[in-house]
A and B are shown apart, each in its own frame.
Chain A
Amino acid sequence: MAGVLEIQNLQKNFDAVKVINDFSMDVIELTLCCLVGPNGAGKTTTMDLITGRQKPTSGSVTFRGHVITGENEQMIARRGLGRKFQIPAVFRELTVRQNLEVAYSHEVNALKNIFSFSSRQCDARIDEVAEQVGLQERLAVIAGTLSHGETQWLEIGMVLMQDPALLLLDEPVAGMTEQEIEKTADILNTMKKTKTLIVVEHDMGFVREIADIVTVMHMGSLLAQGTIQEIETNQQVRDVYLGTEDH
Chain B
Amino acid sequence: MTINPYHDKRLQWVAYAIFFALLALVPILLDDAFLLNQLSTFGVYGILALSLSLCWGFGGILNLGQGIAFGLGAYGMAMTMQMQSQDIDTNPIPPFMLNNALESLPMIWEPFWNTGTGIFLAVAIPTLYCLIFGALMFQARVSGPFFAIMTLAMLSAFYTVFIDLQPYTNGVNGISPPMPLEVGSLVVDPYSTTSYWIVYAVLLLSTVVAKLLTQSKFGLIVRAQNNDPERVRFLGYNVAVYETLIYAISGCMAALAGMCFTFLTQYVSPSQFDVGFSISIVIWAAIGGRGSLLWAIMGAFIVQGAQSYLGDEFLNTWILILGFFFILVVRFLPGGLAGLVELILGKLPNMSKQQKSPGEKPVDKASLKEA
Interface residues of A (CB under 8 A from B): 51, 53, 72-74, 77-78, 82-83, 85, 89-95, 98-99, 101-103, 105, 107-108, 110-111, 113-117, 119, 140-142, 144-145, 158, 162
Q: Tell me, in angstroms, the Cα distance from A51 to B227 when the chains sit together.
A: 20
A162, B245: Cβ atoms closer than 8 Å: no
Name B365's closest neighbour in chain A (CB-CB).
A93
Q: Is B242 an interface residue (CB 8 A)?
A: yes
Q: Nearest Cβ in chain B — how far from A147, in angstroms?
A: 14
Return the contact of B236 from the options A77, A95, A114 (Cβ within 8 A). Answer: A77
Name B367's closest neighbour in chain A (CB-CB).
A142
Q: Nearest Cβ in chain A — how far from B218, in angstroms?
A: 4
B233, A89: Cβ atoms closer than 8 Å: no
Q: Is B332 an interface residue (CB 8 A)?
A: no
B215, A102: Cβ atoms closer than 8 Å: no
Q: Nearest Cβ in chain A — how far from B339, in angstroms?
A: 14
Residues from chain A with Cβ under 8 Å of B213 in the complex: 114
Q: Tell me, in angstroms, the Cα distance from A94 to B223 when the chains sit together.
A: 8
B224, A94: Cβ atoms closer than 8 Å: yes
Residues from chain A with Cβ under 8 Å of B237 in the complex: 74, 105, 108, 110
Q: Among the interface residues A107, A113, A116, A162, which one has the most CB atoms of the partner chain B within 10 A?
A: A113
B365, A103: Cβ atoms closer than 8 Å: no
Q: Tell me, in angstroms, the Cα distance from A154 to B253 when the chains sit together.
A: 37
Q: Tell me, in angstroms, the Cα distance from A105 to B233 when the chains sit together.
A: 10
B235, A90: Cβ atoms closer than 8 Å: no
Given contacts A102-B224, A113-B216, A117-B216, contact A89 B230 (CB under 8 A): yes
| Chain B interface residue number, banded | 20 to 34
Residues from chain B with Cβ under 8 Å of A95 in the complex: 366
Residues from chain B with Cβ under 8 Å of A158 in the complex: 235
Q: Is B232 an interface residue (CB 8 A)?
A: yes
Question: What string of 1s and 0s marks CB contacts (under 8 Å) between B224-251 and chain A?
Answer: 1011101111111111011001000000
Residues from chain A with Cβ under 8 Å of B223 in the complex: 91, 93-94, 98
Return the contact of A91 from the options B218, B224, B239, B245 (Cβ within 8 A). Answer: B224
> Can you give 10 A-B contacts (C-beta < 8 A)?
A53-B230, A73-B233, A74-B233, A91-B223, A102-B220, A111-B245, A113-B216, A116-B218, A140-B1, A142-B367
Q: Tell me, in angstroms, the Cα distance from A90 to B232 when the chains sit together.
A: 10
Q: Nearest Cβ in chain B — how far from A205, in angstroms?
A: 29
B235, A105: Cβ atoms closer than 8 Å: yes
Chain B binding surface, main DSSP class: helix
Return the contact of B238 from the options A89, A102, A110 (Cβ within 8 A). Answer: A110
Given contacts A91-B231, A94-B223, contact A78 B236 (CB under 8 A): yes
Q: Tell me, in angstroms, the Cα distance from A111 to B231 when the chains sit together.
A: 20
Residues from chain B with Cβ under 8 Å of A107 in the complex: 217
Q: Tell me, in angstroms, the Cα distance from A230 to B326 when the chains sit together.
A: 66
Q: Is B172 an interface residue (CB 8 A)?
A: no
Residues from chain A with Cβ under 8 Å of B231 in the complex: 85, 89-91
B221, A113: Cβ atoms closer than 8 Å: yes
Name B212's closest neighbour in chain A (CB-CB).
A117
Residues from chain B with Cβ under 8 Å of A117 in the complex: 215-217
Q: Tell me, in angstroms, the Cα distance from A88 to B198 when the chains sit together.
A: 49
Q: Tell me, in angstroms, the Cα distance from A77 to B233 when the chains sit together.
A: 8
Q: Tell me, in angstroms, the Cα distance from A111 to B227 when the chains sit together.
A: 21
Q: Tell me, in angstroms, the Cα distance from A103 to B217 when the chains sit together.
A: 11
Which B99-113 residues sit within 8 Å CB-CB of chain A? none
Q: Is B8 an interface residue (CB 8 A)?
A: no
Given A82-B234, A83-B234, 5 more contacts at CB 8 Å?
A51-B234, A94-B224, A101-B217, A110-B245, A144-B364
Q: Nearest Cβ in chain A — how far from B253, in angstroms?
A: 15
Residues from chain A with Cβ under 8 Å of B367 in the complex: 142
B235, A103: Cβ atoms closer than 8 Å: yes
Residues from chain B with Cβ under 8 Å of A103 in the complex: 235
Q: Tell me, in angstroms, the Cα distance from A89 to B224 when the chains sit together.
A: 11
Return the contact of A113 from the options B218, B233, B369 (Cβ within 8 A). Answer: B218
Name A89's closest neighbour in chain B (CB-CB).
B231
Q: Tell me, in angstroms, the Cα distance from A91 to B235 when the chains sit together.
A: 12
B218, A114: Cβ atoms closer than 8 Å: yes
